[in-house]
Each structure stands twice: as C-alpha cells, then as structure tokens.
Amino acid sequence: MKILFAGTPEFALCPLKKLMERGEVVAVLTQPDKKQGRKGILTPPPVKVAAEGLKVFQFEDLSAHREELEALKADLMVTCAYGKILREDILNLFPLGVWNIHASLLPRYRGAAPIARAIMEGEKETGITIMKTELGLDTGDILFSRKIPIAEDDTAGTLGEKLSHLAGEMIGEAIDRIARGEISLQRQGEGFVCKKVSRTEVDFTKPAKEVSGLIRGLSPAPLAYATVGGQTLNFYLAKEVSAMEGECGEILSASPKEGLVIKCGKGAVEILSLQPAGGRVMSARDYLNGRKLSKGQKFEKQSLL
C-alpha cells in the first residue's frame, strides 16, 4: 500500500508515526512554515519535523502541483487536521480514495475545532471517525468510529493527546480493511458544523458549567481570559464548585488555602491554573501566595477595543 499522508499539527503525529512504522508513506503534505512568537521566527509544522527522511511537500495550491502528486502513484491518501479543503481534481488521483481522520463522532462537530467544541458544549464523550472524503465539509461516508469519555478535568490539550493516540490505533485498522476490500460505509445524517475558536473573554454571568467548559475548551490555546483590578489573567484550567452568595464575577475566595473561586450566573468556578500577563503559567494557589487578589474584588468585562 502506497500512502500520501496530509497533516499539520501535533494531533496528526500519532497517525503519521503509525503509518511510517508500517513503511507505507511515500510522501507527506503539510502546511507551509509560519512565523511564530514575538520575534517572528519561521517555524516548521510538527508534521514536517516528524516526517524527517520522507519526501515533504508544503504546497499553497495543491491543484497547481497536481502532476507532482500524481507522479507519486499513491494508492490512497490519508488526511488528519491538514488544514486545506481538497478539490475534486485532487480527490480523483487516488484509486482507493481519500480517507480522513476526524476528531469527533460525526456528524456532530464537523469543521474546525471539534475537540474544543465538544468540551465547551459539555459533552460527556467524543471520539475519532474515519471517513471517506468527498467535496463537502466532513460530510463523507463513515468507515467506522470509536468513542472515549471526556474527563471533568480534560482540556482541549489533554483530550487532543488522547484522541491522537486513538487515531493512531484506528488508522492501521482502517488501512487493513481498505486493503482487504472490507469497506462497509455508513451515510451521515444531519450534522453540526463548528467554527474555529478564538481567544475569548470570560462572561461570569454564564452558568459555572459553561464557564468551566469555555476555559478548558480553549486551553492551552487560544485561551479564555478575564480582567480584575487592572490585571489580565489567562485561564488554563477550572472546575465547577458550590457557590456562596455573591455577584457575578465576584471573587468568593482568594487565598493559597482556599483557592481562587469566582461567582458565576449559576454556581461558581475555581480557577486551578492561570497565567498573569507577561508571566508564566502557574497554579492559581501559587499565584495567590503574593496576595495579588482579594475576596470581594470583581472581574469586570472589558471593552474589546
């Protein structure tokens, strides 16, 4: 089996490594290097780094390089968080089709950021779907899927690691099924398309469950944040707790012993991990050792200007 693999972020590494172990990857497609950090250092995507020793393409326009891809004579293509929508001229290059690894239980959470959205929506489980790619956005027929639970302390980062390992296990089985011609596909029903997530200010008038889901779903990037007493804090981990009386956004406790607890529209959240502006990521209790916050202060929603 000759496979062209297309992927970009860390999430795609376990499936890529699984296929590389099998010796079936003839080339890798990934996004171009991008400038990162304050210094704008040109940085290769994780898949490019992991694909050392293989032929790697970083085409902006796949159709403009169709002949190069056709010359690979790959039997099929596997995509995993590649970041580009494939047109028909590319889909038609592979005799055994194009197969996508998607990080949700399709048809729910098609599109961008399915891991973050599952946490933000309060789902109890999610999973990996192997599907045959067609022109629609994650609308192709399903080969098979597998579920995993979402833990109460999962962030998009920790859940993404679990799903990446699951995807690595599943892609080997999928390739074996395709090679044997054991392809039984299931059509998708009506789906839910989720948009790309972005850095978001916390609205403490929302229920604690929703606030906790937002914080965990946006961690470790692009992050949820809030401002109190002129300080902007990025939040990395939070959990729901029972609430005392107070106003939305009011700090109910702020000590290394009791932690940082903030009143929400319904219930309260304890912030477990945070990052002050210009500082390092730390536990909220470590942050409170400096007595930077006090009970009764309020997080106020800021202007986006």
297 in a structural domain: no
CATH code of the domain covering residue 241? 3.10.25.10
Give per-residue pLDDT as tens, 132-145: 999 888 999 999 99
For residue 244, the model assigns a pLDDT of 80
Domain count, the chain: 2
> In which domain, by residue range, is 88 found?
3-194
Q: Are 69 and 20 found together in one domain?
A: yes
Give the β-pairing of 259-263 and 251-255. antiparallel
300 in a structural domain: no
Closest C-alpha among 167, 185, 28, 191 to residue 101: 167
How far is C-alpha 113 from the geometric centre of its chain's CA atoms?
A: 5
299 in a structural domain: no
Give per-residue pLDDT as tens, 42-78: 999 999 999 999 999 999 999 999 999 999 999 999 9
Sequence-ordered list of residues with C-beta below 8 angstroms from that of 39, at least 6 positions apart, any chain: none
Summarize the confidence of residues 24-45 as an average pLDDT: 93
Among 176, 194, 212, give the residue marking a domain's end.
Answer: 194
Q: Are 16 and 156 found together in one domain?
A: yes
257 in a structural domain: yes
296 in a structural domain: no
163 in a structural domain: yes
Query: Residue 166 and residue 46: Cα distance in Å, rounded?
Result: 18
Q: Are 14 and 111 found together in one domain?
A: yes
Mean pLDDT of the chain: 94
Confidence of residue 304 (pLDDT cuts 50, 70, 90): very low
The percent of residues in the chain predicted with pLDDT above 90, rounded, is: 87
Q: Are 190 and 206 found together in one domain?
A: no
CATH code of the domain covering residue 67? 3.40.50.170
Q: Are 164 and 230 found together in one domain?
A: no
Among 194, 213, 236, give the residue marking a domain's end.
Answer: 194
For residue 305, the model assigns a pLDDT of 34
Pick the more confident residue, 120 or 36.
120
Q: Are 36 and 169 found together in one domain?
A: yes
Summarize the confidence of residues 234-251 as an average pLDDT: 94
Summarize the confidence of residues 1-24 as an average pLDDT: 96
Q: Are 157 and 22 found together in one domain?
A: yes
Is the confidence at residue 97, as pLDDT, over 70?
yes
Summarize the confidence of residues 209-233 as an average pLDDT: 96
Q: Are 35 and 129 found together in one domain?
A: yes
Q: Are 25 and 159 found together in one domain?
A: yes
Give per-residue pLDDT as tens, 155-191: 999 999 999 999 999 999 999 999 999 999 999 988 8
Q: Are 135 and 262 found together in one domain?
A: no
For residue 303, the model assigns a pLDDT of 55
Summarize the confidence of residues 210-229 as an average pLDDT: 97
Query: Residue 252 and residue 259: Cα distance in Å, rounded?
Result: 9
Among 149, 172, 194, give the residue marking a domain's end.
Answer: 194
Distances (CA, A) of 110 to 8, 126, 133, 140, 191: 18, 12, 12, 11, 7
255 in a structural domain: yes
CB contact burial 115-126 (16+ within 10 A = b; e otherwise): bbbbbbeebeeb
Summarize the confidence of residues 259-270 as an average pLDDT: 96
39 in a structural domain: yes
Q: Are 11 and 93 found together in one domain?
A: yes
Summarize the confidence of residues 268-288 as an average pLDDT: 95
Q: Are 97 and 221 found together in one domain?
A: no
Torsion angle in degrees (nearest 10) through CA of 82, 88, 90, 93: 130
Find the angle CA(116)-CA(117)-CA(118) to the nearest 5 degrees: 95
